[in-house]
A and B are shown apart, each in its own frame.
Chain A
Amino acid sequence: MASRIQKTFASLKQLGRKALIPYITAGDPNPGITVSLMHALVRGGADIIELGVPFSDPMADGPVIQKAAERALAHGVSLKQVIAMVETFRKDDLDTPVVLMGYANPVEAMGYESFSQQAVAAGVDGVLTVDLPPEEAEERVAILKRHGLDPIFLLAPTTPPSRVARIAGLASGYVYYVSLKGVTGAANLDVASVADKMLELRANISLPIGVGFGIRDAASAAAVAGVSDAVIIGSRIVQELELGENGLQERLVGFLSGVRHAVDAACA
């Protein structure tokens, strides 16, 4: 049976559209608001939601998402609570795939078997573990897959073609191309080099390829949409959360629909 993520990409392909994948950290700025923000993202045009699981040591994140994790952890947000948020979200949205994005240790602490059961029961679709490269992934990913979760892997500008093929063998759903050498929210996105790398990646992988890191506005989103299957936006959206709850949902919808239009226009 096709997963919710596979179905989403298949129907977008039929429509000739690219996926828009926003990221927020669960529990930021407070745990009570996360589910309503997820719905707001969908209203703004999200095809898939990446929901960050806060971790005490977010090594791959820049300052914006680090602080988001700190705000969430100040409320004691745990992986268990994040899964519960997805369960609540699913009561009103049966279609939008949700990918949990975070670091290995909260899942290690829960155990992959127990995590997978709870996540699937709540309606989680995919799992992106930043610090779980293929070298350590095989047994862990096998558990996720057995439960029907799509393991989302990262590809980087430094990833050689031989590794791309190996990652293709483990990944399902889509892969996440990290557009630059750096942390989330960095400002040195180079669309031309992304386009070059995309050709190389496509020779070795047939899954949809999303591009993230450093996409900050409608223009950069449109440029990336022109060469990829999905545009992933994190830090720029978390910056809206940073500004506080006042008018937050409207701001999120406003920003994201602007990006949505630009992405759709770029692919029209």
Chain B
Amino acid sequence: MQMAGKTSEQSYDLPDALGHFGQFGGIFVAETLIPALDELRAEYERAIADPAFMAEFHYELKHYVGRPSPLYHARRLSEEFGGAQIYLKREDLNHTGAHKVNNTIGQALLARRMGKKRVIAETGAGQHGVASATVAARYGLECVVYMGSEDVKRQAPNVFRMKLLGAKVVPVESGSKTLKDAMNEAMRDWVTNVDSTYYIIGTCAGPHPYPRLVRDFQSVIGEECKVQCAEQLGRQPDAVLACVGGGSNAIGIFYPYIEVPGVRLIGVEAGGHGVETGKHAAPLTTGAKPGVLHGQRVNLMQDENGQVIETHSVSAGLDYPGVGPEHCYLNEVGRAEYVAINDDEALAAFHDLCRFEGIIPALESSHALAYARKLAPTMRRDQVIVVNLSGRGDKDIPTLARLSGIEL
């Protein structure tokens, strides 16, 4: 890959000034938004150079979110899977129940610093919507969350949660009525209210500088993991696994490991009904052609005419036709590997974690667990897999009940 042969900690310095990760990323938005993105980039640079800003960010992560999240040795699960030891990075224990809040705190602090009184967000599973509504309440900001009407139905508990937190939830009826359409609608709101409004993008996607700043805020996951591995194992893991929709929890744990040799980074996409059926959300695993959507050039599920096609996954949070540009780059240069896990494999892993460890994981995170179940038996017992347990599964209980034919 590009940094081959270099050993310095700083040799990986993507994205470039215009947000490119190799051929991916960039700024593909209508002219009206360009000055807002310029302003955001400039303010972000000032913020991360400001010790007071970073101190407040870390204070909030510690006292409001409850970081650091534990790195937990799942011994019974490891026995069950056989082979490598499974450690779980417990992002499910964060306030709001997922990794999403790391990013929303960072961006809400930025919004406040920029004098914006109103924040908007898109959400799929509802975790980012909840995390946005939470920080909006915490910092006294007005909050509007756009959510595909299909997802509103699938994720009723999170919709109610957002409303309890004072956010307005707007169901989006256009297109496939899922995450990508929610993002379109949030962009339309932003272009209309660009002076007053800060758009909190929930994943490491969208126009520059979002992929970078979301990665930076989420990289607290990987930074902690490195310290915890050193403490608990005396070394770094052999493989780090994370589910990938847009890819924010994955980039958060991968990023600090990019230049650590010997650590495999494996992103697990949603295989849906199976990648061979075409009904999935696995653009990297299936080698989807690069395309332009939501302000970025990324590997994109599209038809031969460049129309974005509908995705399928049991987990709303992975139901996205693209994937963040940095993942596209890491895939292209071979630093990270990407695989797909089908709905039923994810569900099986979900039940494994419930029964063997007493932890109810999010369906999204269950995809990463399911790949650990495949990978662990191919490894030695003294080897280590860290799975980023990006969220807890409370929100998925209605889905699980429905799939089991149970009425709650």
Q: Do A and B bind each other?
A: yes
Interface residues of A, Cβ cutoff 8 Å to B: 55-63, 66, 70, 73, 78-80, 103-110, 130-133, 135-136, 153-160, 163, 167, 178, 181-183, 186
Cβ contacts under 8 Å, A80 to chain B? 305
Partner of B29, one of A109, A110, A131, A183: A131
Could you tell me if B28 and A104 are in contact, using CB atoms closer than 8 angstroms? Answer: yes
Cβ contacts under 8 Å, A133 to chain B? 27-31, 34
Contact A106/B184 with A57-B175, A59-B30 known, Cβ cut-off 8 Å: no
Partner of A109, one of B18, B27, B306: B306
Partner of A159, one of B31, B187, B294: B31
Give CA–CA (A55, B180) in the complex, Å. 13
Cβ contacts under 8 Å, A60 to chain B? 30, 32, 187-188, 191
Give CA–CA (A10, B305) in the complex, Å. 36
Could you tell me if B191 and A109 are in contact, using CB atoms closer than 8 angstroms? Answer: no
Contact A104/B292 with A133-B29, A156-B31, A158-B32 known, Cβ cut-off 8 Å: yes
Could you tell me if A108 and B18 are in contact, using CB atoms closer than 8 angstroms? Answer: no
Could you tell me if A105 and B292 are in contact, using CB atoms closer than 8 angstroms? Answer: yes
Known A105-B307, A109-B304, A181-B192; further 6 A-B contacts with Cβ < 8 A: A55-B306, A59-B188, A78-B305, A105-B292, A108-B292, A183-B191
Cβ contacts under 8 Å, B306 to chain A? 55, 79, 105-110
Give CA–CA (A78, B307) in the complex, Å. 9
State whether the Cβ of B174 lies closer than 8 Å to any Cβ in chain A. yes
Give CA–CA (A163, B37) in the complex, Å. 14
Give CA–CA (A78, B303) in the complex, Å. 10
Could you tell me if B29 and A105 are in contact, using CB atoms closer than 8 angstroms? Answer: no
Contact A57/B184 with A79-B305, A131-B29, A154-B31 known, Cβ cut-off 8 Å: yes
| The 9 nearest A-B residue pairs measured at CB | A109-B306, A106-B306, A156-B32, A78-B305, A154-B31, A104-B292, A182-B192, A105-B306, A56-B307
Chain B, residues 175-204, CB within 8 Å of chain A (1/0): the string is 100001100100110011111000000000
Most chain B CB neighbours (cut-off 10 Å) among A110, A154, A156: A156
Could you tell me if A57 and B192 are in contact, using CB atoms closer than 8 angstroms? Answer: no
Least CB distance, A232 to chain B, in whole angstroms: 15
Could you tell me if A181 and B195 are in contact, using CB atoms closer than 8 angstroms? Answer: yes
Could you tell me if B294 and A59 are in contact, using CB atoms closer than 8 angstroms? Answer: yes
Contact A159/B175 with A55-B307, A135-B26 known, Cβ cut-off 8 Å: no
Give CA–CA (A57, B27) in the complex, Å. 16
Most chain B CB neighbours (cut-off 10 Å) among A106, A136, A155, A183: A136
State whether the Cβ of B234 lies closer than 8 Å to any Cβ in chain A. no
Chain B, residues 155-178, CB within 8 Å of chain A (1/0): the string is 000000000000000000011000
Cβ contacts under 8 Å, B292 to chain A? 103-105, 108, 131
Could you tell me if A186 and B34 are in contact, using CB atoms closer than 8 angstroms? Answer: no
Cβ contacts under 8 Å, A56 to chain B? 175, 307-309
Give CA–CA (A160, B39) in the complex, Å. 12
The size class of the interface chain B forms with chain A is 35 or more
Q: Which residue of the partner chain B has the closest CB to A103? A: B292
Most chain B CB neighbours (cut-off 10 Å) among A104, A109, A159: A109
Could you tell me if A178 and B305 are in contact, using CB atoms closer than 8 angstroms? Answer: no
Most chain A CB neighbours (cut-off 10 Å) among B29, B194, B195, B295: B29
Q: Which residue of the partner chain A has the closest CB to B18? A: A135
Q: Which residue of the partner chain A has the closest CB to B26? A: A136
Least CB distance, B97 to chain A, in whole angstroms: 29
Cβ contacts under 8 Å, B187 to chain A? 59-60
Q: List 8 A-B residue pairs with CB atoms under 8 Å apart, sorted by A's residue number.
A: A66-B174, A109-B289, A132-B28, A154-B31, A156-B30, A157-B32, A181-B32, A183-B191
Cβ contacts under 8 Å, B188 to chain A? 59-62, 183
Q: Which residue of the partner chain B has the closest CB to A160? A: B35
Cβ contacts under 8 Å, B291 to chain A? 105, 108-109
Cβ contacts under 8 Å, A66 to chain B? 174
Partner of A135, one of B34, B175, B289: B34
Could you tell me if A105 and B300 are in contact, using CB atoms closer than 8 angstroms? Answer: yes
Cβ contacts under 8 Å, A59 to chain B? 29-30, 184, 187-188, 294
Could you tell me if A105 and B308 are in contact, using CB atoms closer than 8 angstroms? Answer: yes
Give CA–CA (A110, B303) in the complex, Å. 11
Cβ contacts under 8 Å, A135 to chain B? 18, 26-27, 34
Could you tell me if B302 and A109 are in contact, using CB atoms closer than 8 angstroms? Answer: yes
Contact A73/B307 with A60-B30, A130-B30 known, Cβ cut-off 8 Å: yes
Give CA–CA (A148, B35) in the complex, Å. 30
Least CB distance, A245 to chain B, in whole angstroms: 24
Give CA–CA (A161, B32) in the complex, Å. 13
State whether the Cβ of B36 lies closer than 8 Å to any Cβ in chain A. yes
State whether the Cβ of B293 lies closer than 8 Å to any Cβ in chain A. yes
Cβ contacts under 8 Å, B174 to chain A? 63, 66, 70
Contact A159/B34 with A135-B18, A181-B191 known, Cβ cut-off 8 Å: yes
Give CA–CA (A8, B57) in the complex, Å. 57
Give CA–CA (A66, B309) in the complex, Å. 16
Give CA–CA (A190, B309) in the complex, Å. 38
Least CB distance, A67 to chain B, in whole angstroms: 8
Least CB distance, A164 to chain B, in whole angstroms: 10
